[in-house]
């Protein structure tokens, strides 16, 4: 009889160990899933509020950015000439380069050279200068708290040269484009 009781106690102990292992495994899986959800939620908040990830559409920023590139924008309040910025215009997301800041004067010559405060702007980032379709009155004085933006591909870019768009207020700027994540062969900072 003692052998039968010993077997029953041993079976019960083994079953209890198995049940405890199952409970610990489920707790580990639950805590792992919870941890991953918290990390994902934090990443979404960071991306939405501080560093949005954007996809480039169109070719107005060629050669600096190509259609399909994935870039990271950094929210800021300190924008300067030369920064590539993402901005909202209406319900569209645009990516342009700041060429003039508040209170600067912008002018163009027939060859497409840009003048800021009567000095020619050195634009090493563009392949071809173009006068484009300018419907603003030149010379143009950038109003306070606004930025004059141009696309790097001047023939196709709709930008501040258009009276419809004009100089953009700072509150429409999402952030500076600082980093390209895709394609991998162009991975790195954006200039």
pLDDT digits (tens, 9 = 90+) for 5-54: 666 777 778 888 888 899 999 999 998 998 888 887 777 766 666 667 77
Query: Are both 148 and 94 inside the same structural domain?
Result: yes
What is residue 37's predicted lDDT score, i.e. its pLDDT?
86
Residues of the chain falling short of pLDDT 70: 1-7, 45-51
pLDDT at 174: 87
Nearest to 186 by CA among 47, 58, 66, 59: 66
pLDDT for the residue 141 = 95
Q: What confidence score (pLDDT) does residue 41 get?
A: 76
**How many C-beta neighbours within 10 Å does residue 142 have?**
21
Read off the CATH number of the domain in which 118 is found: 2.10.109.10
- Name the helix (H) or strand (E) containing 41: helix 2-49
Q: Are residues 94 and 41 in the same domain?
A: no
Q: CA 108 to CA 37: how far, in whole Å?
A: 52
The predicted structure's pLDDT at residue 50: 62
Range of the domain at 16: 1-49
In a shared domain, residues 110 and 175: yes
Domain count, the chain: 2
- pLDDT for residue 95: 92
Q: Are residues 33 and 114 in the same domain?
A: no
Q: Are residues 36 and 83 both part of a single domain?
A: no
Residues 34 and 73 in one domain: no
Q: What is the Cα–Cα distance from 39 to 165, expressed in whole angstroms? A: 39
Are residues 38 and 77 part of one domain?
A: no
Residues 3 and 96 in one domain: no
Determine the pLDDT at residue 16. Answer: 83
């Amino acid at each position: 009889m003692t052998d039968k009781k010993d077997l029953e106690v041993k079976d019960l102990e083994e079953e209890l160990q198995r049940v405890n292992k199952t409970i610990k495994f489920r707790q580990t899986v639950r805590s792992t899933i919870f941890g991953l959800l918290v990390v994902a939620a934090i990443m979404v908040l960071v991306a939405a509020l501080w560093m949005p990830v954007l996809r480039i559409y169109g070719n107005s920023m060629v050669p600096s950015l190509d259609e399909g590139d994935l870039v990271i924008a950094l929210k800021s309040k300190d924008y300067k000439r030369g920064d590539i910025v993402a901005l909202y215009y209406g319900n569209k997301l645009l990516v342009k380069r700041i060429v003039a800041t508040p209170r600067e004067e912008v002018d163009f010559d027939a060859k497409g050279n840009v003048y800021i405060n009567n000095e020619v702007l050195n634009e090493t980032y563009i392949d071809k200068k173009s006068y484009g379709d300018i419907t603003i009155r030149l010379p143009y004085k950038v109003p306070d708290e606004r930025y004059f933006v141009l696309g790097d591909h001047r023939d196709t870019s709709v930008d501040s040269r258009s009276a419809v768009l004009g100089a953009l207020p700072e509150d429409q700027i999402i952030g500076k484009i600082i980093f390209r994540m895709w394609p991998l062969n162009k991975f790195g900072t954006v200039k």
